[in-house]
Amino acid sequence: MNQRTYFEHMFSRLMVWSKRGIKESRFMLLLALVVGVLTAFAGLFLKWLIAQIQFMLTHQFSITTSNVLYLIYPVVGIFLTSVFIRRVVRDDIGHGVTKILFAIARKQSNIKTHNCWSSVIASAITIGFGGSVGAEAPIVLTGSAIGSNLGRMFRLNAKQLMLLVGCGAAGAVAGIFKAPIAGLAFVLEVLMIDMTMGSLLPLLVSSVTAAIVTFAITGTDPMFGFHHDYVFSVARQPANILLGIGCGLISLYFTRTMNWLEGLFRKLRGPYSRLVVGGAMLSVLIYLFPSLYGEGYDLIELLLSGHGEEDWQAAMNHSLFYGHGNMLILYLSLVVVFKVFASTATNGGGGCGGVFAPTLFLGCVFGFIFSQVWNMHGVMGVNLPENNYALLGMCGLMSGVMHAPLTGIFLIAELTGGYQLFIPLMVVSVCAYLTIHIFEPHSIYAMRLARRGELITHNKDRAILTLMSMDSVMDRYSKYLTPEMTLGNVVKQISLSKHNVFPVLNAQRQLVAVLYIDDIRHIMFRTELYQRYRVEQLMVDPAARLSTQDEMEDVVKVFERTGAWTLPVVDSAGVFVGFIRKSRVFTMYRQMLADISND
């Protein structure tokens, strides 16, 4: 037995064991644990690779002057990423979380195998060379792809696949941020999967497993240093509310501007024109504002852990602003304005990255600016600790941009260990969410799909229809009629079949029409008419024709519009595939609803 045959044999035995030797619920927990481990290692590898590339390129830079290489590195990174995607991956791997939403909504939670590694490599190159995006969305896509492909390997159904996709996303957030609760909240709020109590345990297992693996390798310290200066008082709540509203408006600016810029990049023809425009924009911005280089976590760490103006002025290191401490607020304000341009230019020019890190970055800088300006003017005689309000700003932007108030609260608390700030975190998070929701009903991830009507939400009807497939409700026919057949031939076929409707096909097996038994019942027993009538005289056009590419939600709408009880299905060439009966669709819907309710 050669090595390949041996592994195939062992996998077959594992498949049999998984089906017979263990309960479904326990098997899902085991898979969730495996997903958590694999996702944690993927996240650790990505962060290590980014750090190595950045250190190799920038460790010799002087902090007192601007560095010309800032004009070169980002373009090189975007170019290398673009070549890797076009020549090696040969698929679009941008907008990672949006791709997960689309896979859930329209692809039965099937995510391509290459997504288990392609986003890791592409985003490491992009960010390591200075791309102003985050590694979190790519690793979330990687985790979800690991869950999807592991589920397909064990031939799980669509409902179980969706759960494993969620486990991968939860494990990715939990592992890369050391934030297990935030991982769970992210799946429920951002991916908008209609989870039940039976689904929460696998999500928790994946989140906790990924976090523990990360803790074991990198230590249990929070991701960012933090010292608590905030003492809760009612007098500070007006400031918290105003900060939340401000975060909501900054979130709106970030979301709208990014969509507008992405539209401009889509109009550019060819990868090289996008590379030139995106690379030039990104390089100039990073040269002027080096804080935009990479994920920006160094600046976040500085603003959260700094103890005064002397520390905070280090934000202007490597820039033309170095040594001008009185221009700190202006510098940071310009960084807030141009961060969205840098992030969009990175992805629009051909790079790969997400908006997690840019969102945290913007929130931190805006929260710091807000508190500094407040203290300068002595508003209400209340002093605001800048580093704590930088933290609150991170929560507000996360809540606003991603429409995920719970994710924002728990992520920031777990990122920094700032659990003492729960009440102000909640105030800022809710105010930011309510503010942006007035203008944008969907998150930055979901709005692209919502505009095309391809978004699955917490609506249970749509969730169940998404889990159903055409194959699961379709009757396939081995017998069919042709227009030239006589009534006698039709009666003979009817006698051998249990169906009450038959397809009429031409020589190419394309659907011509259908024939209903009810339409010929009054003549089918009159033998003297068997040679007088032919199928072409008795057939009728169907009320509608369904396509194999149709989604179940569209199928239900066609049944409602036509009032039909049975409709034919054809492929893109018009070749007959089978019939779908309304009664079977409703029966399966009720069964799946009962299954979900019983979880």
Q: Which CATH superfamily is domain 23-68+90-218 in?
A: Clc chloride channel (1.10.3080.10)
Summarize the confidence of residues 576-595 as an average pLDDT.
79
**The two three-digit tokens of residue 348, written as one number:** 């629009």
Query: How far apart, in Å, are the Cα atoms of 67 and each of 52, 70, 302, 343?
Result: 19, 6, 21, 20
> pLDDT grade, residue 198 (50/70/90)?
low
Question: Which residues belong to CATH 3.10.580.10 in the chain?
Answer: 470-597
Residue of 367 and 582 predicted with greater confidence: 367
> pLDDT grade, residue 458 (50/70/90)?
very low
Residue of 335 and 20 predicted with greater confidence: 335
pLDDT(19) > 60: no
- Is the distance from CB of 351 to CB of 133 less than 8 angstroms? yes
d(CA 384, CA 370): 9
Could you report the per-residue pLDDT of 88-146, keeping only the tens digit for each? Answer: 988 877 766 777 776 666 556 678 888 899 999 999 999 999 899 988 888 999 999 99
- Is the distance from CB of 161 to CB of 109 less than 8 angstroms? yes
- The three-class DSSP label of residue 567 is strand
**The two three-digit tokens of residue 67, written as one number:** 């560095």
Residue of 2 and 114 predicted with greater confidence: 114
- Is the distance from CB of 452 to CB of 264 less than 8 angstroms? no
pLDDT score for 429: 96
State pTM to two decimals.
0.75
d(CA 54, CA 47): 11
Q: Which CATH number fits domain 470-597: 2.40.10.480, 3.60.40.10, 3.20.20.110, 3.10.580.10?
A: 3.10.580.10
**The two three-digit tokens of residue 324, written as one number:** 């001008």
Contacts of 514 (CB under 8 A, 6+ apart): 501, 502, 503, 504, 539, 540, 541, 542, 568
Q: How many CA atoms lie within 13 A of 333 on its CB side?
A: 9
pLDDT score for 374: 94
Cα angle vertex 377, ends 373, 383, to 5°? Answer: 75
Residue 515 sits at φ, ψ, to 5 deg, of: -130, 125
d(CA 169, CA 433): 22
Summarize the confidence of residues 13-24 as an average pLDDT.
61
Residue 573 CB neighbours (<10 A)? 8
Could you report the per-residue pLDDT of 352-372, keeping only the tens digit for each? Answer: 988 889 999 999 999 999 999
Summarize the confidence of residues 74-82 as an average pLDDT.
92
Could you report the per-residue pLDDT of 508-559, keeping only the tens digit for each? Answer: 999 999 999 988 888 888 888 889 899 999 999 999 999 988 877 788 889 8
Residue 513: strand pairing partners: 504
Question: Which residues belong to CATH 1.10.3080.10 in the chain?
Answer: 23-68+90-218
pLDDT(190) > 50: yes
